[in-house]
Amino acid sequence: MSAAEMLGKPLCTLAFCWRIERRDGVAVGLTSHDRDLRVGGLTYRAAPGMTPSAVRGGIGLDGGDSDVAGALTSDALTERDLMAGRWDGAALELRLTEWEAPGALWLLLARGTIGAVARTGAAFTAELIGAAAALGAPVAPSTSPDCRATLGDRACRVDMAARRRIVQVAEVEEASVVMAGGGLEAGAYAFGTLRWLTGENAGMTQAVTDNDADGLTLADPPAFAVAAGALALLTQGCDRQLATCAERFGNAVNFRGEPYLPGMDLLTRYPGA
């Protein structure tokens, strides 16, 4: 039976189902029904407070985004994880099914990624960014003296195999992280990333501002407490300057910037300025 035929029945037992997959691969299922539903090997937990709003479809570009609102009633969506950003950028699918025959009707209503999350009391609202948002991106990159590529991506092409290492944390104080054993190359991990592998912060990635031989400084303190002995994946960074690209990485041929192009301040340059 087609979706149109099923929805055309005199009586339908409909329920919304959300599948949310975090960037670290963890996936959860939630449903507006008052009992758990199992579809495609995933259990959709009952979360009656979850409601979709402004879900619209059409041939235009308006209404490409929508909102998902709900109560913090699921153990999978805790307040501390939402506020820490663990669910930011997660892939989300909203589908419609019949709770009497879960999966027989599996109609896709919306798909996108989770954007901004706001909280009011015991409820939250998450913005669902749809595919139309990609059309708002610039068609051609803007010129810049700095490199527009990310170290190791397809535009940069630097081999990152030897530029990542798993480290053990000895101590964390605010945004300062001391590594067990030290041995880091000073400055090599500035502008890089630290991805937590164990502990309460597991799966979360943080920006590194600078490092010395014994430790590093993060852009922000970890969202949750870090116990001594926690493991993390440390990845080198780049300041996106041509000199660094040429001297440190030997990769000037792939530099994605225009360091010698006159800038907007050209007319203000004069002797003695």
pLDDT digit string, tens, across residues 228-243: 999 999 999 999 999 9
What is the location of CATH 2.30.110 in the chain? 3-131
Provide the 10 A C-beta neighbour count for residue 185: 10
Q: What is the pLDDT of residue 57?
A: 45
Q: What is the pLDDT of residue 270?
A: 64
| Measured distance CA(184)–CA(216) in Å, rounded | 9
Provide CATH code, domain 3-131: 2.30.110
The residue type of 88 is: D
Confidence band of 79 (pLDDT split at 50, 70, 90): confident
The tokens describing 70, both together, are: 């709900």
Confidence band of 177 (pLDDT split at 50, 70, 90): very high
- Stretch 116-141: mean pLDDT, rounded? 71
Give the dihedral of Cα atoms 199, 200, 205, 209; nearest 10 deg.
-80
Look at residue 55 and tell me whether its pLDDT is greater than 60: no
Contact yes or no for 145/177 (Cβ under 8 A): no
The residue type of 44 is: Y
The DSSP output letter for 254 is: G
Please state whether beta strands 37-39 and 66-71 pair in parallel, antiparallel, or not at all (unpaired).
Answer: unpaired
| Measured distance CA(100)–CA(11) in Å, rounded | 11
Report DSSP letters for 166-232, one per residue: EEEEEEEETTEEEETT--PPTTTTTT-EEEE-SSTTTT-EEEEEEE-SSEEEESS--SS---TT-EE
Q: What is the chain's mean pLDDT, rounded?
A: 82
Greater confidence (110 vs 190) lies with 190
Q: What Rg do the C-alpha atoms of the chain give, in angstroms?
A: 24
Count, residues in the chain: 273
Q: What is the pLDDT of residue 232?
A: 94
Q: What is the pLDDT of residue 123?
A: 65
- Stretch 122-139: mean pLDDT, rounded? 70
- The closest of 86, 85, 108 to 39, measured between CA atoms, is 108
The whole model's pTM is what? 0.71
For the 161-254 domain, the top CATH level (class) is mainly beta
- Stretch 15-21: mean pLDDT, rounded? 88
| Measured distance CA(145)–CA(52) in Å, rounded | 44
The residue type of 116 is: A
What is the location of CATH 2.40.10 in the chain? 161-254
